[in-house]
Amino acid sequence: METINITCSSNRGFFSLFKQVMELVGNEPDGTYRIEIFSESYADSRTNLWDLFFENDLVKDVSVDDLKCLSHCLIPPEDVILLKDANKIIRLLKLKSFMLNTIDDYFLRNLAGRRVLGVHFRGTDMLAAGNTLEDRSIKNKCIKRGVNEYFEFIDENMTNYDTMFLATDDSDAYVSFKERYSDKLLSYSNIRSVGISLQCSSKDRLESLREVIVEVWLLSRCDFLLHGISNIPHVVKILNPTLPSKNLDLIRLV
């Protein structure tokens, strides 16, 4: 059995590391692999984050195209074929049963049988409002949109949905959404922060990580995804390659 080890001392979010695992697994030959992720952003240097939430000793027995650009792209590809290739790998990365039970229980109690608008709003991290980011691999520019731009889209389209599921790391953004949409709004996370990246400021970093993993899998089961630039919607789209979506941060240059 081979070991895929990622040790990170920098402030990278978990799903950046998760996509790196996918890339490494996708480019390795068939076989059995043990996954290790160590990141002091979430826990001490001896805690394997993978073992906390995912099954280990995964068996790779599928062939995919080269996934070498996966971990360096924050924008989900528009090509469904590319997403489906990545989906072959993500299906090998199985959540532990207690995580699946949590996701299924929330979905059945709150989302099942309803038209759900999924929203991911990335707030308290490096992309402060007004900042720009160029993704040179696909020649796009992204501008971080604020809550008002999200509200414009939602107000125009909410009649098509029964409820909204919001995932955000930003306490202020959550309050703004809740004040505007009240009983229409659902959310899972309880741990958010203000003005600083959540994985650095949260008193319970591992609990915040558990919550965001649950949110990603729940977003993938919504009927539409509204989002900005982030690894989270990228993983959501890999989980559900045909999920309709709109990236509000994206400006096409060519």
Q: For position 141, what pLDDT does the model report?
A: 67
Give tens-digit pLDDT for 178-221: 999 998 999 998 777 665 555 554 458 889 899 999 999 999 99
Give tens-digit pLDDT for 212-249: 999 999 999 999 999 998 889 999 999 999 999 999 88
Instruction: Indicate whether 18 pLDDT > 50.
Output: yes
Q: For position 157, what pLDDT does the model report?
A: 96
Q: For position 76, what pLDDT does the model report?
A: 60
Q: Could you tell me how far CA 166 lies from the centroid of its own chain? A: 12
The Cα 9–Cα 45 span in angstroms is 9
Q: What's the predicted TM-score (pTM) here?
A: 0.87
- Torsion, CA 47, CA 50, CA 52, CA 58, rounded to 10: -130
Q: For position 237, what pLDDT does the model report?
A: 92
What are the structural domain ranges in the chain? Answer: 2-90, 97-252
Which string of DSSP letters, residue by residue, matches 175-201? HHHHHHHGGGEEE-----BSSS-HHHH
Better-scored residue on pLDDT, 74 or 242: 242
The CATH number given to 97-252 is 3.40.50.11350
Under 8 Å between Cβ of 192 and 171:
yes
Q: For position 30, what pLDDT does the model report?
A: 84
List strands edge to edge, sheet with 2-8.
Answer: 2-8, 31-39, 58-60
Q: How many CA atoms lie within 13 A of 187 on its CB side?
A: 23
Q: For position 132, what pLDDT does the model report?
A: 46
The Cα 237–Cα 30 span in angstroms is 24
Q: For position 69, what pLDDT does the model report?
A: 54
Q: For position 138, what pLDDT does the model report?
A: 46
Question: Which two three-digit tokens encode residue 38?
Answer: 């160590």
Mean pLDDT of 77-96: 79
**Mean pLDDT of the chain, nearest integer:** 83
Better-scored residue on pLDDT, 66 or 123: 123
